[in-house]
Amino acid sequence: MDYVPKTIEKWGDTVLTSLTYAASIAQYTSLFILPFAYRRGWFTTEGVILMSKFLTGVGIVVVGAMYLRALGRFTNPIYTKFLQILLEAQADMSAVNKRALSKFDFDFSAWPVEFRMSELEGDASKPRSYLDQVGSSGLIGIPLDALGWLLTHSFGLKMVYPGSIQMLQAMVERPLMDGRMKLIEGYGGQRFKLLTRDNNSIDTLFVEQKSKLNGKTLVICCEGNAGFYEIGVMATPLEDGYSVLGWNHPGFYGSTGEPFPPQEAAAADVVMQFAIHKLGFSVENIVVTGWSIGGFTASWLAMNFPEIKGLILDATFDDLVPLAIPRMPGVMSPLVDRGIKKYINLNVADQVARYPGPLRLIRRTRDEMISTSDGELWSNRGNNLLISVLSVRYPNLESGASALADWLSVQGLHPPQDEDLVAGVLFSYIDQHGATFPCLIGEDMDQQTKQQLLIYLASKHMSELDTSHCTPLPVSHFTLPWDPAIDSQFVNVCQKDAQSESCSDE
């Protein structure tokens, strides 16, 4: 049931919430407010004095609102019962206390921490791979870096990750609450608070389905730029019977911090370590999936944990810069380019290039978010991601990239006509040289065969969905990535058993 606050508590809470939103708006519009404030004389001695008096008045209002809210809660028997349960759980987060606490939905900042990276032994000392941000370029780079910092730290990050805007979170608070209720009551999910290396709290929820066929495999879900695990991509693998671990970006609802790349990576890291050391899943039984901008953290995990069972990227781009520049005024292009590369460098393709395991890309044919030209399939940046990955994994086939680009510009990712032939060539190579990357197949191959083989590989790595960007992924499209090593072993078994009428799935 919904908690009904008393009048004085409701009034105090409204005042505090309104002031919080006002402060957020001031931050987002600071680049426009500061010049106005300067012209109005706010930075003069008289202006500073008036501002000090104003802030003092605001402080008095805040203290009064907090007092009224506390008084209303103290006189409400439902709240005092909840507070008693919360204090017991904070003192000892036992299974009994956690079950009692899980019956309430409240501000996640009060939830006890159940997993800390600082207390982890073993993998905590493992060095993490971070791709370097763009460095300074002398005297010209210094002012650009300063302006880029202001751009990204005022409103730029909020444009890239609108889910971190508090007002947006308030608008979807009820659907988020209902989503958590469904995951906890309908699927038996458990909520956890994890503490990262940089001391951010990450809101996570785990659903175990080991009794189902796919339940021994854990799917870690990385959400989009306005996605939350409560109403996000967890639904698809859950419906398919997988155990699932969802988490919210830093600054998204229950998670603290801001979704800058270092904090995003730290959050993804603690989620993976939690899955291994607390939930007991081996890395080899973990699939990482990312939707849209979630491809950044998903690919970061794949780069640092290459033993995972597979990486699935849905509606994901290769790099943020080509998508950001067309959405900003042309005169700001150099600043946008510099600011993103230095402070919000979401270099998905570079990270995927360092992951050698099974990979599956899902392209949306009507994707309006990661296309640079509206309605043009050739401009979907998922194409660039695929081309980049294949060029690293199969460098001797790169001369066939133009044919691959033509193939990707047409809807319907059909395999080449000579599919069986080129597949046989690939599997013969793997049988002789192994399935490690980079795969040097194609060195003595004619151009047409290179093109056909490259298209065959592309058809195995990418599937297509005729929808827009935000349409939920159907269960039928959530399949584990193709693994050429396993596929080649299966073909060899079939060839050795040629006397049989059919080939089994041994």
From the candidates 367, 371, 388, 461, give the one annotated as an active-site residue: 367
DSSP state of 409: T
Token readout for 201 is 């709290």
8 A C-beta contact, residue 123 and residue 211: no
Distance between CA 166 and CA 318 in Å, rounded?
28
Across the chain, which distance is largest between two alpha carbons, in Å?
A: 96
Both tokens assigned to 262: 């270092």
Neighbour count for residue 432 (Cβ, 10 Å): 7
- Among 292, 299, 388, 488, which one carries the catalytic annotation? 292
Say whether 277 is catalytic.
no
Stated as kind and residue range, the H or E segment containing 27 is helix 7-28
| CA 379 to chain centroid | 22
User: Which helix (DSSP H) or strand (DSSP E) does residue 56 occupy?
Assistant: helix 45-74
Integer Cα distance of 422 and 67 in angstroms: 74
Considering the candidates 129, 373, 433, 466, report the single residue annotated as catalytic: 433
DSSP 128: P
Exposed/middle/buried for residue 418 (C-beta within 10 Å: 0-12, 13-18, 19+):
middle
Specify whether 292 is catalytic. Answer: yes
d(CA 273, CA 115): 9
Give catalytic status of residue 444 as yes or no. no
Active site residues: 292, 367, 433
